[in-house]
Structure 1
């Protein structure tokens, strides 16, 4: 599981918190017993707590980290008061309670139900954001299948697209960058495996995808250097030089540039006027733009 250390951002507007005067906790408020008649005890029917009371019980349970109890209170409110002014908030907060329990599938289901019923709610931005977090928390390690990362990426991008000026969008953008870096890491892992197995064409495809589709990630420099190696194994000298040129232009001080330079030098494939990798150099032979690699 790809755990996030950040807690969800607060709601766009605070959920309405109504002060309850009830002192008891639980789902039901029981009425007292009536007087005995003809020596037989007569009981009144149990009285359901009000929507306000149930909502406050749920909020109190959240504050005390009793998340399962909170989701139960919000669910009970919805079942018994479907037209209450508290019902919409209860639907959203039930999704939040499931999220806090790590019940991400239930949370997504509840949040999607909320958004279906309240598409124009002022809290819709938070609902979309919380839904995206449910996917984000389930991102698997890079060695495993990354379908969950793709789902998280899509959900986070929806937050940015729908609510670009919100704090949710700003946080979602940071997580989008992490998702893309994660996907690029997966491509590199597979590419290195193919390269070790001498399946150079398959490795080349993985590295090229990192360079083309994940240019802002931390894996591009290595991908370019790996391309130099793979191209040389395939006898594609010009392509190897072009990859090295892009690497030198964009990452002149990186170890990957030094590796590629040394590989070409050792094979006597450097041009006559090539420049050794130094921090002060950003030109010379290794100074072409991104598009020159393909």
Structure 2
């Protein structure tokens, strides 16, 4: 018998065997088979196709929860909206609102993270200046007292300066400038704290380095007057009289009514010296052309 016919005959035998087996079942068994039929029209499968919540509804839901102070729920709504419509006009709105919500929660690092995402994705977005402001304020709100590390102050000052430079017409610029001044004052104050510690412990070189930072970098803070007087003290202790005299002279020229100038003057007089500016001194060079521009903060 040809091979093809043998295969065909074998198939027929299998089919006949299955038919006999099925016919041998009881009626109850046939009912059971019928109930297990996956194609039984009486047992239809329904796919779960829950439609997306409309974008405007998600946004308004987020606003509503935000107004009620339910910040976590509000943030989730804005996140959902951003994921649902990533390439629509709703995405930047959702992201800036999530940033604001995190800020309201005082979740400073999360605020910084979401603000950075906004600025990376929408550098020219209408809320870019606001995102920069929230990011800067998140660092600003973490500034500790001057006795502690001032990393947050440095970050705040940097972010605020970016705001001023990049968005000069922004409504947040005026406030940013004030806060830049405060951050500078904090940084200068911290340097003064360390400098005084070194001075009291007769580490005059370490003290000079700290006071030098204040004079060189933070001239427009209230600490510069004391820094100049402390420089006079430290240089006198080291016997470097020309720098001590220069520090006192620059202090007197820029702050003639300062009590710190009176102290510096007395210090020099007690050693038979008077204030005298050495134009080649780093102190003189630091202040050259800046007369009247220092000591703006009382």
Question: Normalising TM by the smaller chain, what interval?
Answer: 0.7 to 0.9
Asked whether 1:200 is paired with 2:204, we answer: yes
- Normalised TM-score (structure 2): 0.74
- Aligned equivalent of 1:291, options 275, 281, 284: 284
CA displacement at 1:293 relative to structure 2: 7.7
Cα offsets for 1:135-194 (capped at 9, x unmatched) = 111222222222222111111111111011222222211111111111111110110011
Cα 1:228–1:173 change in 2 (3 A) is same
Asked whether 1:69 is paired with 2:73, we answer: yes
C-alpha RMSD over aligned residues: 2.6
Asked whether 1:86 is paired with 2:90, we answer: yes
Question: How many residues are treated as equivalent by the alignment?
Answer: 241
The question of whether the paired residues in 2 share the 8 Å contact of 1:207 and 1:224 is answered with yes
Matched residue, 1:249: 253
Structure number with the higher helix fraction is 2
Counterpart CA distance in 2 for 1:55 and 1:189 is: 49
Cα offsets for 1:49-95 (capped at 9, x unmatched) = 32111101111222232222211111122233334432220111001
CA displacement at 1:131 relative to structure 2: 1.2
- Written as runs of structure 1 = structure 2, the 5 A alignment for 1:217-256 is 217-256=221-260
Matched residue, 1:151: 155
- Written as runs of structure 1 = structure 2, the 5 A alignment for 1:150-189 is 150-189=154-193
The question of whether the paired residues in 2 share the 8 Å contact of 1:243 and 1:293 is answered with no
The question of whether the paired residues in 1 share the 8 Å contact of 2:248 and 2:265 is answered with yes
Counterpart CA distance in 2 for 1:195 and 1:293 is: 22
CA displacement at 1:247 relative to structure 2: 1.0
The runs of 5 or more residues in structure 2 that have no matched partner are 1-41, 288-298
Aligned structure 1 segments of 4 or more residues deviating by more than 3 angstroms:
42-48
Structure whose alpha-carbon radius of gyration is higher: 2
Bigger RCO of structures 1 and 2 (CA < 8 A, at least 6 apart): 1
Counterpart CA distance in 1 for 2:274 and 2:159 is: 46
Cα 1:60–1:199 change in 2 (3 A) is same
Cα offsets for 1:79-131 (capped at 9, x unmatched) = 33334432220111001100110111111111111222212211111111111
Counterpart CA distance in 2 for 1:212 and 1:293 is: 6
